[in-house]
Amino acid sequence: MSRNPSVLNRRQFLAGSAAALSVPFFVPARSLGLAGNVAPSERITVGIIGTGGRGVALINMFLNEKDVEILAVCDVDARHLQNGLQAVQKRTGKECASYKDFRQLLERKDLDAVVVATPDHWHGLISIAAARAGKDIYCEKPLVNSIAEGRALCKAVSENKRILQTGSHERSTPSVRFACELVRNGLIGKVHTVRIHLPCNDGHHQKARALNTIPPEEPVPEGFDYDFWLGPAPKAPYTPLRTHFWWRFILAYGGGEMTDRGAHIIDLAQLGLGTDDTGPVEIEARGVQTKGSLYDAFWDYQFTNIYANGVQMIGSTATPRGLKFEGTDGWIFIHIHGGKLEAEPASLLKTDPSQFKLSLGRSPGHVRNFLDAVKSRKDPVAPAEVGHRTATICHLNNIAMRLGKKLKWDPVAEQTNDAEANKYLQPHLRAPWKL
């Protein structure tokens, strides 16, 4: 489905070639899209950037769709790269190209889209480069690791007329969309509060929180380009506790649970409130960091974000994981993950969606929704602006906790009322990387 105007469209090529031939010839059923196969003109060719645990999971999700062909994978760790290659070969019986440098993958003219499944501190730069290279983008959540990166990515997607889906996949869950329709159609009355339950009680949280030292430097494993992994982040001594998976608890690379699951739960608050293109105007947050630890992300946080209409979003580490919309006539709780619903009155959950004046529609699945958007050129359910606005709230809470200050936020100018806080909006990128 290449849309590069300098390259002949595959559908046009096939049609022109058939017309030019005047003698009988045989074409495999796969090429014609017969016998359940997808014709080449309808296939979406994909490259995967980042083939760690999440990247391999996304390889399998994309290959569940019959019109996807993965042509290339990319990772700075040879072990992860091999895992990606094996995942593709196991599912398709075919080998695909492999790269260590994402820029080489993006040079390929035969790719329609890329999946970005790297650590968070790479999301913005890679996705911006992909947009400029004419690729559509599926980028894992949180969309970016700083607010300025998010705005730059939105601009790149718009200017290059690309499709971007943020990987906030809970937004595609049917029950979630139904719950948000109940809220937005006024069935719980006037909404005054959204409670965010973002617990940190999983095993990996407990292990990360228990670390109260800086581990000693270790030799970089063979086949792992650690300097490239750091990329725009400051130089730092290698320890395995800094990189794969564990990076999410270091603010230079991620935002802790605030951006990890927060990018799912706060995203649904935005959907239910109808504030996908804006955000709160007041940010107050406090949290605890483990003294002396490599992991400087926040724990035991409490935050209150106030929207211009007075609605309060109040967050804590309470369980169960999810969010609760509270209105003058009732409430709805959405469990994360899975989308199980609770409500008061319980009869709300038996409401016929056909009576809603405002409908959010349904997604066929987050990956499928992205692929359909690639073909239709219409926005998916979590486009760039949505991902950016959700990530912005997460980052503002982290900034408020860093500084111990209550902040005013202007969602239009995307600036706070505090000069010190504004310094954290812009990433400090290590040369030669820049926005």
Residues of the chain with CATH 3.30.360.10: 173-360+383-422
Q: Is the pLDDT of residue 22 over 50?
A: no
Structure tokens at 30: 């796969």
Confidence category of residue 12, pLDDT binned at 50, 70, 90: very low
* Percentage helix, strand, coil for the chain under 3-state DSSP, each rounded to 5: 40, 20, 45
The CATH homologous superfamily for domain 173-360+383-422 is Dihydrodipicolinate Reductase; domain 2 (3.30.360.10)
Q: What percentage of the chain exceeds 90 in pLDDT?
A: 91
Q: pLDDT tens, 39-74?
A: 888 999 999 999 999 999 999 999 999 999 999 999
Q: Chain-wide mean pLDDT for the chain? A: 93
Nearest C-alpha neighbor of 367 from the set 210, 177, 139, 195: 139
Residue 197 has pLDDT above 70, yes or no: yes
Report the pLDDT value the prediction gives residue 38, as an integer from 0 to 100. 79
Q: Could you tell me the pTM of the whole model? A: 0.91
Predicted confidence (pLDDT) per residue in 358-391, tens digit:
999 999 999 999 999 999 999 999 999 999 999 9
- For residue 182, pLDDT over 50 is answered with yes
Mean pLDDT for the stretch of residues 289-304: 97
Q: CA-CA distance, 278 to 258, in Å (whole number)?
A: 19
Query: What tokens does 193 get?
Result: 């509060």
pLDDT of residue 1: 56
Q: Summarize pLDDT for 100-151 with one digit per residue, the tens.
A: 999 999 999 999 999 999 999 999 999 999 999 999 999 999 999 999 999 9
Could you read off the pLDDT of 237-259 as tens digits, one per residue? 999 999 999 999 999 999 999 99
Indicate where the chain has its CATH 3.40.50.720 domain(s): 25-170
316-337: per-residue pLDDT in tens? 999 999 999 999 999 999 999 9
Q: Are strands 407-410 and 322-327 parallel, antiparallel or unpaired?
A: unpaired
DSSP structure class, residue 344:
E
Residue 7 has a pLDDT of 37
Percent of the chain with pLDDT over 70: 92
Question: Terminal CA-to-CA distance of the chain, rounded, Å?
Answer: 28
Q: What pLDDT, on the 0 to 100 scale, is given for residue 62?
A: 98
Looking from the CA of 36 toward its CB, the CA atoms found within 13 Å total 2
Distance, CA of 364 to CA of 347 (rounded, Å): 26
Q: Is the pLDDT of residue 16 over 80?
A: no
Instruction: Report the pLDDT value the prediction gives residue 29, as an integer from 0 to 100.
Output: 44
**Does CATH number 3.40.50.720 belong to domain 25-170?**
yes
> What integer pLDDT is reported at residue 37 of this predicted model?
75
Which strands sit side by side in the sheet containing 415-416, from one edge to the other? 341-344, 330-335, 322-327, 191-197, 312-316, 299-306, 282-288, 407-410, 415-416
Closest C-alpha to 278, from 411, 96, 404: 411
Placement of tokens 């900034």 in the chain: 399
Q: Residues 206-239: pLDDT tens digits?
A: 999 999 999 999 999 999 999 999 999 999 999 9
Sign of the Cα torsion 170, 172, 178, 183 reads positive
